[in-house]
Each structure stands twice: as structure tokens, then as C-alpha cells.
């Protein structure tokens, strides 16, 4: 487990400088729309000047979108890869984000520190998912909201998305732009090893989130939002 986590961290460090460019091309920019929708759900009816955690913040796309929608928010961006955080620090509004190099399975925050938490394309990379979800439950105050944006393992065959697009074309695009073939082969492989959306929802309930619901995202439900309280 420790070696696997070290390898994933090193992989993200290697691609940090080209991560955003590869993401925009591979998603045809739709990942920006996914995050906007996620934040509208996350920030709906939160208190004034909320404390919001972005777990697995990467190059801060999620964190700066939170501030774009709620300039009064106190945003904490946590990621176990320092290089990814530093790659995003010149983005608009990023100067207002607190950057913490942290392990999602052992978060350095007090119980109930946050009124809301977001995680985009991170939980799939946790070596101990149960511990990571338990930590999110601990640091989000009772009644607070968690929104997870993720690629889940499909429950039925999707030949175009999984076989051709994600399985073959995306790794080639990522390799061409990011320059690291193994890193972009990791994406489809990690999806196939991960939970289905239904499995993940069940894990959230076990972790202590009482109300869990989910939303498929365009195109074709290739990504999903899961909301929990």
C-alpha cells in the first residue's frame, strides 16, 4: 500500500506542469462545466464566509471555482502532491487559497472544521478509501455537505467510452501532451479497479453520511457527482 501511494504521488509530480493542458484537451473543456455544477450544489445554502475543504485539490481548479462562486469563502486546498498545488498557484484567485500538503487518509484538521468539502477525481486514488471517507466525515461538521466528482466503474458495457475513448484515445492524447505514457494509462486502469457509483454511495453511508444522492453528468454519464450530508 505504501509503495503504491508513493508511486502515485511521484506520477502526479511528474505531470504537474502539463496536467491542466492535458485535462482540457482530453475532456474537450467539459471538466470546467462539471466543476461549476459541482460547486453550485456544494455551496447551495451554506452559511456566510464558509470554510470549505478541497481534498485532492491538484492544480486548484476546484478551489478557484469555489472562490469564483463564493468570494467570501475560506478555501483550504489539500493534496498529497506538492508539485500539483504549486502548479496552480498563479491562477486567478489562487492567492486566497490556503495550500496544505496532506494525506487524505490522515487529515490534519480538527473535527467539524469545515461546513462543506469537495473532492474532484481524487478518491479513486486513495489506497485506503474507507479511511479517507471516515476522515471526510470527521472534518465536515454535522449537517455539512460533501460533493464528490469522480469517474466510477460502469455497471454495464460502454464500448465507445470505456473501450475506445477512455481506454485507447485518452492515454494517447495524454501521452502526446503530458509526455508520460504510464501516467495516462493509469486513468482507465484506475477506473476499472474502482467502485461503481452504487458501491461508493454505500461506502459513504457506512462512513456516517446519512443522506446520499448522485447525478450523472454529460456526456453519457462518463462522470458523476455524489452529494452527501
Query: Is 174 part of any domain?
Result: no
Give domain status of residue 173, yes or no.
no
For residue 183, being part of any structural domain is answered with no
Q: What is the DSSP string of 146-201?
A: EEEEE----SS--IIIIIIIIIIIHHHHHHHHHS-HHHHHHHHHHHHHS--HHHHH
- The confidence score (pLDDT) of residue 7 equals 86
Distance CA 168, CA 162 (A): 8
Mean pLDDT across 213-228:
89
Instruction: Look at residue 227 and tell me whether its pLDDT is greater than 90.
Output: yes
The predicted pLDDT at position 159 comes to: 62
% of residues, the chain, pLDDT over 70: 87
For residue 14, tell me if it sits in a domain: yes
Please give the average per-residue pLDDT across 196-208, as a whole number: 97
C-alpha cell at 223: 462522470
CB 159 within 8 A of CB 133: no
pLDDT digits (tens, 9 = 90+) for 31-78: 999 999 999 999 999 999 999 999 999 999 999 999 999 999 999 999
The range of the structural domain enclosing residue 47 comes to 2-156+194-228
The model's pLDDT over 122-153, given as tens digits with 9 standing for 90+, comes to 999 999 999 999 999 999 999 999 999 999 99
Short-list 189, 118, 121, CA closest to 151: 121
pLDDT surpassing 80 at residue 2: no
Residue 1's pLDDT band, with cuts at 50, 70 and 90, is very low
Number of domains in the chain: 1
Is residue 163 one of the residues assigned to a domain? Answer: no
CATH code of residue 207: 3.40.50.150
Check residue 89 and report its DSSP letter: T
208: left (phi over 0), alpha (psi -120 to 50) or beta: left
At residue 97, the 3 state secondary structure works out as coil
Amino acid at each position: 500500500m505504501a509503495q503504491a501511494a508513493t508511486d502515485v504521488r511521484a506520477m502526479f509530480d511528474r505531470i504537474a506542469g502539463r496536467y491542466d493542458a492535458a485535462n482540457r484537451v482530453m475532456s474537450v473543456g467539459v471538466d470546467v462545466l462539471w466543476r461549476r455544477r459541482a460547486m453550485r450544489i456544494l455551496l447551495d445554502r451554506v452559511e456566510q464566509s464558509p470554510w470549505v475543504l478541497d481534498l485532492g485539490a491538484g492544480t486548484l481548479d476546484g478551489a478557484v471555482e469555489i472562490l469564483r462562486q463564493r468570494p467570501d469563502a475560506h478555501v483550504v486546498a489539500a493534496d498529497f502532491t506538492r508539485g500539483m498545488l504549486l502548479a496552480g498557484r498563479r491562477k486567478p484567485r489562487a492567492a486566497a487559497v490556503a495550500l496544505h500538503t496532506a494525506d487524505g487518509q490522515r487529515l490534519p484538521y480538527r473535527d467539524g472544521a469545515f461546513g462543506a468539502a469537495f473532492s474532484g477525481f481524487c478518491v479513486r486514488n486513495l489506497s485506503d478509501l474507507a479511511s479517507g471517507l471516515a476522515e471526510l466525515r470527521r472534518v465536515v461538521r454535522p449537517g455539512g455537505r460533501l460533493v464528490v466528482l469522480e469517474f466510477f466503474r460502469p455497471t454495464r458495457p460502454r464500448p465507445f467510452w470505456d473501450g475506445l475513448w477512455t481506454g485507447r484515445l485518452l492515454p494517447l492524447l495524454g501521452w502526446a501532451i503530458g509526455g508520460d505514457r504510464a501516467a495516462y494509462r493509469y486513468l482507465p486502469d484506475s477506473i476499472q479497479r474502482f467502485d461503481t457509483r452504487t458501491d461508493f454511495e454505500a461506502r459513504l453511508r457506512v462512513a456516517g453520511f446519512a443522506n446520499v444522492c448522485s447525478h450523472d453528468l454529460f456526456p453519457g454519464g462518463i462522470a458523476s457527482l455524489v452529494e452527501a450530508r
